[in-house]
Structure 1
Amino acid sequence: MFGAGGRAGRRAVAEAVTRGHRVTAVVRDPDRYRAAHGEPGAGVSLVAGDVTDAGSVAAVAAGHDVAVNAAARMDVPAREFFTAAARALLAGLERAGVPRLVMVGIGTTLETAPGVRVMDAPGFPEEARNFSEGHAAELAIFEAEGGGVDWVMMVPPPTLLDDEAPRTGRYRTGGDQVLPAAEDAGTLSYADLAVALIDEAENPKHHHRQIAVAP
């Protein structure tokens, strides 16, 4: 699990462990992780790794059946980080012999109409554009160069996710477009995004594309 220290990553680790999987939680600084969150529980090995370095990816991924990536950095330009991570994951996982990669995307790369992304809308907030463009560049690399790894990008709605709501196990999936709101569905939680990620890791249903996820 790359990006195991973030909100999506921590919940994906917990979801996988609950299902009986052994998880390698990859973070940049294990000591910082322990200071913030304590020691990981049983079934979790906490290791240092760099998702933007193919050698590091290969080393921590060796011997695993599937990789999950929720890594992000706010102290590095988004396009630089996400494109480097895309190429390192593709090269490193192929080198390690890990066939499957499940990733977290961003809702602003989903379409509101064919060929029109959320981030293409007039008046799209400039402060969000850089991060969105980084994710879009990452997706473009996977679409163009990702044939050697069976990847999928699970994309939550273009809204803030609920960081407190408990796991319900319920979610919907679609395609490249924002899913219409379901009546009384509320906001997608990080806990249920984690369910979607681990479901897809266990039972691959989508391949070489981004998939909208919604409550």
Structure 2
Amino acid sequence: MTKKIAVVAADGRAARKIITEAVNRGFDVTAFGRKDENPTDAQHYVKRDIFDLTADDLKGFDAVVDAFGAWTEDTLPQHSTTLAHLSDLLAGTDTRLLIVGGAGSLYVNPEHTVTLSQTPDFPDSFKPLANAMASALADLRKRGDVKWTYASPAGDFQADGDRTGKYLLAGEELTLNDRGESIISYADYAIAMVDEIEKGDHIQQRISVVRA
């Protein structure tokens, strides 16, 4: 049976990679974005702001991918408000909610008391974004009524990196590959995301991915 998925905030580069990966695997994909024309490979496109989405818009999908991103000081709180809105729309349904997350909230110690964004080498310029995304994740963890999965990329998330077709699946902690790298391309991250939709069962869990 063909998987039906929706991708929200579909205009971004990570979203487009996920859409392409899903379409190439035979998924039926609906993209929700803010552009007038469909900039993605999705078979269906709906121009709609994320806050204007309704429960009816998302009815009937096996999974909804939240690819929302904001980078300016005044819009950073929308990481929490948009995710809360989507969670409310999907609450109590069987539709999975998968979030394109951040790496800053990954833990760097076994006790899970220190995150990557709290380490000395983490760039100051990225801390507001990391904090905003961590806050959204903290709110999400309180939701027992949504089948969510939060997918964090590696520390070096490369928009134009190669599609190697290989990745390591990890959990709450920052994971390095055997070359000591924390790196993943958007294309390989998209593979991991679609794999999770297709055969993963990390419900109400955070996963992370790094290049193998």
Matches within 5 A, 1:1-215: 1-31=7-37, 34=38, 37=39, 40-41=40-41, 44-51=43-50, 53=51, 56-75=53-72, 77-94=74-91, 97-113=93-109, 114-122=112-120, 124-144=122-142, 146-165=143-162, 167-183=163-179, 187-215=183-211
Segment of structure 1 superposing worse, 178-187 or 2-11: 178-187
Q: How well do the aligned residues superpose, as a CA RMSD in angstroms?
A: 2.2
C-alpha displacement of 1:70: 1.2
Please give the secondary structure, in 2, of the residue aligned with 1:82: helix
CA deviations 1:27-67 (Å, max 9, x no partner) are: 12234xx5xx4xx44x521112233x2x5142431221111
Q: Distance in 2 between matches of 1:75 and 1:180?
A: 30
Q: Distance in 2 between matches of 1:107 and 1:74?
A: 15
- After superposition, the Cα gap between the structure-2 partners of 1:159 and 1:122, relative to the gap in structure 1 and judged at 3 Å, is same
Segment of structure 1 superposing worse, 184-193 or 55-64: 184-193
Higher helix share: 1
Seq. identity, %: 28
Matched-pair contact (CA < 8 Å) for 2:170–2:208: yes
Q: Distance in 2 between matches of 1:99 and 1:160?
A: 27
Q: Distance in 2 between matches of 1:205 and 1:169?
A: 21
Please give the secondary structure, in 1, of the residue aligned with 2:139: helix
Q: Distance in 1 between matches of 2:114 and 2:181?
A: 25
Pairs aligned (count): 203
Q: Distance in 2 between matches of 1:30 and 1:93?
A: 26
Segment of structure 1 superposing worse, 100-109 or 56-65: 56-65
C-alpha displacement of 1:195: 0.6
- After superposition, the Cα gap between the structure-2 partners of 1:57 and 1:196, relative to the gap in structure 1 and judged at 3 Å, is farther
CA deviations 1:81-129 (Å, max 9, x no partner) are: 111012101111237x452111111111101113110111235332111
Q: Which runs of 5+ in 1 are unaligned?
A: none
- After superposition, the Cα gap between the structure-2 partners of 1:89 and 1:119, relative to the gap in structure 1 and judged at 3 Å, is same
Please give the secondary structure, in 2, of the residue aligned with 1:178: coil
Q: Which runs of 5+ in 2 are unaligned?
A: 1-6
Higher strand share: 2
Once superposed, which parts of structure 1, at least 4 consecutive aligned residues long, lie more than 6 Å away?
none
- After superposition, the Cα gap between the structure-2 partners of 1:122 and 1:57, relative to the gap in structure 1 and judged at 3 Å, is farther
Please give the secondary structure, in 2, of the residue aligned with 1:111: coil
Q: Distance in 2 between matches of 1:175 and 1:184?
A: 17
